[in-house]
Amino acid sequence: MIELSDVHKSFGKVEVLKGITASVQKGEVVCIIGPSGSGKSTILRCINGLESYDRGEISVEGLKVDRDASSIVKVRTQVSMVFQRFNLFPHRTALENVIEGPLYVKRESHAQAFERGRALLARVGLAEKADVHPPQLSGGQQQRVAIARALAMQPKAILFDEPTSALDPELVGDVLGVMRKLADDGMTMVVVTHEMGFARDVADRVLFIDGGVIVEQGAAKALLNQPQHPRTQDFLRRVLHPL
């Protein structure tokens, strides 16, 4: 349902994506791993048009992703995004954050949006925090609200951009738990992450990216347990055994 073919992207003179070709099937969970600065996040940001790309083509459900075309709104309502730093709207309560899109973009009725919004907050375990503003929530709670906000758009896929990297270690589990439940429910997910345990247990496939190219890809367990490429082996060794 998400197709990337030979995608190139430069920031000024630095080419961060050097021909990425990949696809994500419906219901699949794909984790993207790799060193920082390798272009992982840029791939996600190109998929929902937060970033433009220079060459190649990205399509979502057959719809070409072009951030300057009006069709980008349609792409974004189908592919939601969860950010590393949550990016919740601080001037609105948790519930208001969740129903903002349904109310103002999808123009759902108030009654329906509120009902679904409360149900979604319950689904991420935050029913009792509906009327709290984000600054009063912990990082883990904020990220779960952000996941509920993404779900509220009833997307066909969700992109996660290092969703646990800004969290205190003891809060990571709550967020990963919610994500695992989503995966079990059949949500299509693309996750940029450093959580190798999550990638191994939850992902169907893993892409290892370095220097703007896909160095190695394959079934999650196989790739993480027996990486073939020396760069993958080196990266995994450093991540799993930092000492």
Partner 1 sequence: MKGFWHDAAEFFPILMSGVALTIVVTIGSLLLSTVLGLIWAMMRVSGIRVLSMLSASLINVIRGIPIIVLLFYLYFVMPDLGVTLSALQAAILGLGIAYSAYQAENFRAGIEAIDKGQIEAAQSIGMGWWLTMRRVVLPQAVRIVLPPYGNVMIMMLKDSSQASTITVAELALQGKLIASSTFKNTNVFTLVALMYLTMSIPLILLVRHFEKRAGKR
Token reading at 90: 């601080």
Query: Which residue from 69, 73, 219, 240 is in contact with partner 1, where contact means CB under 8 A?
Result: 73
Residue range at the interface with partner 1 (CB under 8 A); choices 68-76, 107-115, 192-200, 218-226: 68-76
**Minimal distance, residue 197 CB to partner 1, in Å:** 27
Closer CB to partner 1, 159 or 214, in the complex: 159
CA distances from 62 to 2, 27, 68, 158 (A): 8, 16, 17, 17
Give yes or no for residue 207 binding partner 1 (CB under 8 A).
no
Listed residue (38, 35, 60) closest to 49, CA to CA? 60
CA distances from 16 to 2, 38, 52 (A): 20, 7, 12
Give yes or no for residue 90 binding partner 1 (CB under 8 A).
yes
Q: What residues numbered 106-145 form the site for partner 1, per CB under 8 A?
A: 106, 135
CA distances from 86 to 20, 68, 141, 166, 234 (A): 27, 25, 10, 9, 31
Work out the number of other CB atoms within 10 angstroms of the CB of residue 28: 19
Size of the site for partner 1 (CB under 8 A): 26
Closer CB to partner 1, 139 or 211, in the complex: 139
Distance CA 179, CA 175 (A): 6
Query: Which residue from 100, 162, 174, 195 is in contact with partner 1, where contact means CB under 8 A?
Result: 100
Give yes or no for residue 64 binding partner 1 (CB under 8 A).
no
Query: Which residue from 1, 8, 15, 50 is in contact with partner 1, where contact means CB under 8 A?
Result: 50
CA distances from 155 to 15, 61, 65, 160, 222 (A): 31, 12, 16, 13, 29
Q: What is the DSSP letter of 224?
A: H
Closer CB to partner 1, 98 or 220, in the complex: 98
Residue range at the interface with partner 1 (CB under 8 A); choices 4-12, 54-62, 78-86, 223-231: 78-86
Site residues for partner 1 per CB under 8 A: 48-50, 73-74, 76-77, 80-81, 83, 85, 87-91, 100-101, 104-106, 135, 149-150, 152-153
